[in-house]
Chains A and B, each alone.
Chain A
Amino acid sequence: MSDTHEHSVSFVRTESIAERDPPYAASGPVKWMRDNLFATPANSVLTLVSLYFIYLILTATLPWILNGLWNTSSLAECRQVLDGAVGACFSVLTERWNQLLFGFQYPNELYWRPTLALVLFFVAAAPVLFFDLPRKLLIFTALYPFIAYYLIWGGALAVPFVALGGCIAGGFIYQRFVAGSFALGFFGGVVAALVFWYVGGMLIPENANGTAMMTAVPSRDLGGFMLNMMLGVTCVSLSIPLGIALALGRQSSMPLIKWICVVFIEFIRGVPLITLLFVASVMLAYFFPPESQVDLFLRVVIMITMFSAAYIAEVIRGGLAALPKGQYEAADSLGLDYPQAMRLIILPQALKISIPGIVNVAVGLFKDTTLVSVISMFDLVGMIRGPILASTEWNGVYWELLGFAALLFFVVCYGISQYSQWLERRLATDHR
């Protein structure tokens, strides 16, 4: 108002103000440090203390890592070579890498099979994780479990085919009856698949494994980080759909279904995973017919899946509850039926809200797969605690082995967490 008359309230600008450069601002590393590290005396003290801590940690670990030995054949030899100097004995990793990754019983000449399964896993997971990829790739994703099964376990080719056939039969029945009632289609499909598997299982000849193209590897020979990955991937990918089904079931208007889901979720959440694993290793055998000999791997998968599905169900229930009622009403008023409304409107939004929670459960579950070492399965931790540390050569190499295990798990979990952040950004359409 400087150019208007002092007592006047009315004001009309006659010429527009020209654009000017911002006032000179200091920039560069010195300014950055002054702003971020030494802004106040207290800040400066904190900065110095932190620097000192970083220095302590680095001086303690760096020589140990840099001096590390990679080519000795036992801990004793390491000690001899180091001769009192600080240094890690990484030779255990170069010497026993195959046991750490594949377990100590998986045949060496067959390592290519699980490795190929891992590579194919990335191909199969890609269209699910990155939905900009062509949808046709999902066909491979659907076939992947059967391919991976055949690669890892080998044996009779009929097994994965029967498994696939059961899934197709279930899907077919679901398609037939879902129009009438969602529950009918769903349970009809499950029953059809179970019947198909049972009958198919009886038809596979006893000695099929002997004549197989790919050497059969029994489940007890699986081990190492491969076992953790297999359990993690299988259980996460099974527990998400199961968790969704439980969360929807908990909201169901049919009291029986609602009750079953509530009891299941509350029961499983109230029991420690380790208990469930012991049940899997010892007791679950009682529930199956004695001659069926359900595989220990399968029993563990069932238990971990149920465990994490209960948690995922609760996370998704939170997401469902966060959706405004209007979304359900809009879907209803457009004439969408229940499965359509869920699949197209409700779940995409509820799952989006639930991503951080689901990822949290998934990361936790992946790390919890190491618990199988207590029921004498030789996963990565089981291998370290058992065969490797117990061997005369490597008895006492704790830091290197456990550090390696931590690194492997960290890489996978960090990857999952980065992916979920990318996904959240990618799905952010609400522009609130």
Chain B
Amino acid sequence: MAEQATQMQISDEIAITINKMNKWYGAFHVLRDIDLTVNRGERIVICGPSGSGKSTLIRCINALEEHQQGSIEVDGTLLSSDLKNIDKVRSEVGMCFQHFNLFPHLTILENCTLAPIWVRKTPKKEAEETAMHFLEKVKIPEQADKYPGQLSGGQQQRVAIARSLCMRPRIMLFDEPTSALDPEMIAEVLDTMIQLAEEGMTMLCVTHEMGFARKVANRVIFMDEGQIVEQNEPEAFFNNPQSPRTKLFLSQILDH
């Protein structure tokens, strides 16, 4: 544990700055005055009731959704409508989705090598070596030649993580990576994520896995109705929530 703690250090360098960011879907105000600064090496868990805008927030960070007001700066690159900047940010930021979104017409290995080959222009052989390295890391090198449809959900999600890692991202975003999985598969995916955290990856993770939050996160953010309602270190957040909405939410999810 002590060793882990030293590895999971947070640097002073800033990875993401979000400043007074607002977003609307039509007339519906999904994200309201979001202010958030993430340092390199931070592991942030975002939770909140359904429809509170968690997914929308992290999807704004790699410009899968466009924000209308305020600014988002990722790794020193300001997200604007400039496609060059968007592509730059996307190749620095990895993302894992709730439904894995692997490419079903490509093998596991091809899934992992596609973006390095086409976006980073890595030679095929080198890309394959990198892919095998990360597939070993998520403990499924033997599945490399199968198609996603032949894998279990947990394995697919680990492939999705490996696929993102192959781009050597500096920041990883997770949108409920375990909520489409059966309980016995959740553990294997969380283990992979914990390992990633221990290696110092900057992570933003939307999840309701509170055990994971306690163990890995250095900050927990609670969102409701498009606003950041409360954020704190995990111990304080879970043991001593301040806002009534946080208390209500925690009592609902921890009761079961």
Taking a contact as CB atoms under 8 Å apart, the answer to whether B105 and A333 are in contact is no
Kindly state the interface size class of chain A when it binds its partner.
20 to 34
Taking a contact as CB atoms under 8 Å apart, the answer to whether A335 and B87 are in contact is yes
Chain B residues positioned under 8 Å from A349 (CB to CB)? 103-105
Q: A429: which of B87, B114, B149, B164 is its contact (CB, 8 Å)?
A: B149
Interface residues of A (CB under 8 A from B): 324, 326-327, 329-330, 332-337, 340, 344-345, 348-349, 352, 427, 429-432
Taking a contact as CB atoms under 8 Å apart, the answer to whether A335 and B64 are in contact is no
Q: B150: which of A324, A333, A334, A431 is its contact (CB, 8 Å)?
A: A431
Pairs A-B, 8 closest by C-beta atoms: A335-B91, A431-B149, A330-B101, A326-B101, A334-B115, A333-B95, A335-B90, A429-B147
Taking a contact as CB atoms under 8 Å apart, the answer to whether A333 and B103 are in contact is no
Main DSSP-derived SS at the A contact region: helix
Min C-beta distance of A218 to chain B, whole Å: 46
Q: A427: which of B103, B105, B118, B164 is its contact (CB, 8 Å)?
A: B105
Q: How far is the CA of A427 from the CA of B149 in the complex (A)?
A: 13
Taking a contact as CB atoms under 8 Å apart, the answer to whether B101 and A327 are in contact is yes
Chain A residues positioned under 8 Å from B189 (CB to CB)? none
Chain A residues positioned under 8 Å from B228 (CB to CB)? none
Taking a contact as CB atoms under 8 Å apart, the answer to whether B103 and A327 are in contact is yes
Taking a contact as CB atoms under 8 Å apart, the answer to whether B97 and A329 are in contact is yes
Q: A333: which of B64, B83, B102, B114 is its contact (CB, 8 Å)?
A: B64
Q: Is B163 interfacial (CB 8 A cutoff)?
A: yes
11 contacts between A and B (CB under 8 A): A330-B103, A332-B64, A332-B90, A333-B95, A333-B164, A334-B164, A335-B87, A335-B167, A344-B118, A429-B104, A432-B149
Q: How far is the CA of A346 from the CA of B20 in the complex (A)?
A: 35
Q: B97: which of A330, A335, A430 is its contact (CB, 8 Å)?
A: A330
Q: Is B236 interfacial (CB 8 A cutoff)?
A: no
Chain A residues positioned under 8 Å from B62 (CB to CB)? 333
Which residue in chain B gives the minimum CB-CB distance to A345? Answer: B103
Min C-beta distance of A391 to chain B, whole Å: 55
Q: Is B119 interfacial (CB 8 A cutoff)?
A: yes
Encoded as 1 (CB less than 8 Å from any A CB) or 0, chain B from 79 to 104 comes to: 00001000100110111010101111
Q: How far is the CA of A7 from the CA of B191 in the complex (A)?
A: 47
Q: How far is the CA of A432 from the CA of B87 in the complex (A)?
A: 33
Chain B residues positioned under 8 Å from A427 (CB to CB)? 105
Taking a contact as CB atoms under 8 Å apart, the answer to whether B105 and A348 are in contact is yes
Min C-beta distance of A332 to chain B, whole Å: 6
Taking a contact as CB atoms under 8 Å apart, the answer to whether B103 and A430 are in contact is no
Q: A334: which of B83, B104, B119, B147 is its contact (CB, 8 Å)?
A: B119
Taking a contact as CB atoms under 8 Å apart, the answer to whether A336 and B118 are in contact is yes
Q: How far is the CA of A431 from the CA of B105 in the complex (A)?
A: 10
Q: Looking at A335, A429, A430, which has the most chain B CB atoms within 10 Å of its CB?
A: A335
Which residue in chain B gives the minimum CB-CB distance to A431? Answer: B149
Taking a contact as CB atoms under 8 Å apart, the answer to whether B105 and A429 are in contact is yes
Taking a contact as CB atoms under 8 Å apart, the answer to whether B90 and A333 are in contact is yes
Taking a contact as CB atoms under 8 Å apart, the answer to whether B99 and A335 are in contact is no
Encoded as 1 (CB less than 8 Å from any A CB) or 0, chain B from 129 to 149 comes to: 000000000000000000101
Question: Considering the complex, which residues of chain B in the window 148-188 have a beta carbon less than 8 Å from any beta carbon of chain A?
Answer: 149-150, 163-164, 167
Chain B residues positioned under 8 Å from A345 (CB to CB)? 103, 114
Min C-beta distance of A319 to chain B, whole Å: 12
Min C-beta distance of A415 to chain B, whole Å: 25
Q: How far is the CA of A8 from the CA of B114 in the complex (A)?
A: 60
